[in-house]
Amino acid sequence: MPEKVLVTREIPQAGFGPLEGFDVTVLSEAPPERGELLGAARGAEGVLSTVTEKIDGEFMDAAGEGLKVVANMAVGYDNVDVVAARERGIVVTNTPGVLDETTADVAFMLLLAAARRLGESERVLRSGRWEWWGPKLFTGPDVWGKRLGIVGLGRIGQAVARRARGFGMEIVYHNRSRKPEAEEELGARYLELDELLRTADFVSIHTPLTDETHHLIGAEELEKMRPRAVLVNTSRGPVVDEAALADALVQGRIFAAGLDVYEEEPKVHPKLLDLENAVLAPHIGSGSIETRDKMATLAAENLAAVLRGEAPKTPIKS
């Protein structure tokens, strides 16, 4: 009997190649309701999940004792309870390495758009309110030559730093541990978070969401930032206190923000929605055609490997 595999969302076709030969159920294009998800889990031996599904102990118990692997189609796996998985002997995998450049592109896109006021000025143009070129119209801070503070200098943070070098930016970073090789290669300088926040013109967040990084950037941290600073977040929403950020933007305590992730997706803090100095993308960081193909393929390869009794390419280390 082929092993039962549950794919929680419709994924790119490329992801189905490695799943050939298994008994595959695909749930839905939209995120499934919790009840539907738990019902569909029953008897699954492999689950290919995405960031919208909470894969916790309850889900694992609903699947039953046959569940061997949860292959998350994302590099972040804060939606998966890895302790519950370990207790049950379930392997968890993610998709690192294939989305770094693509996500860094979106971080840089948001950085440029927020600084140079693309969202706001485009809204004016589209609504027919653009009347003339103006010497002071839609001016924002330069990006080139400025200081970029990268919080979390992992693979994606480093890809952002490479882009910043092309813009002649000075790169400083904060990370749990020093990264001597990246310092050498990128000319990045380590700073304590406090000094980074006080001195950077741009701050881009690239940490995973953990208990330690929850609300890493809150009211106090925003207070330290420069009045012309721009904050970019393409990591996970809860790393930034969204209400505190909205207040800082309303009060003009920082210049602008570019966000791709939110605390309670798909909800966005209502104050942010009204702000002209917030550029808001709907969690599209890894969303290039090529990268989503690679993520689906890698997740499916990981899942298939475990069900065949082989080592998956990218297990998470917990």
Applying CB under 6 A, the residues found at the interface with ligand GLV are 51, 74-76, 99, 285-286
Task: From the candidates 236, 242, 269, 292, give the one annotated as an active-site residue.
Answer: 236
Active site residue 10: no
Cβ atoms 187, 229 nearer than 8 A: no
**Residue 281 and residue 233: Cα distance in Å, rounded?**
10
Q: How far is the CB of 302 from ligand GLV (least distance, A)?
A: 14
Nearest CB to ligand GLV, comparing residues 44 and 99: 99
Between CA 147 and CA 271 the distance in angstroms is: 28
Annotated active-site residue 265? The verdict is yes
Which residues in 105-262 belong to E strands, given as ranges?
147-151, 170-174, 189-190, 202-205, 230-233, 256-259
Tokens of 87: 């207790």
Q: Which of 147, 163, 174, 283 is catalytic?
A: 283
Active-site residue 101, yes or no? no
Q: What angle do CA 54, 239, 76 make, to 5 degrees?
A: 45
- Cβ proximity to ligand GLV: between 233 and 277 the closer is 233
Smallest distance from ligand GLV to CB 160, Å: 15
Are the C-beta atoms of 284 and 258 separated by less than 8 Å?
A: no
Nearest alpha carbon to residue 217 among 239, 246, 187, 194: 239
The phi, psi pair for 114, rounded to 5°, reads -70, -40
Q: Annotated active-site positions, please?
A: 236, 265, 283
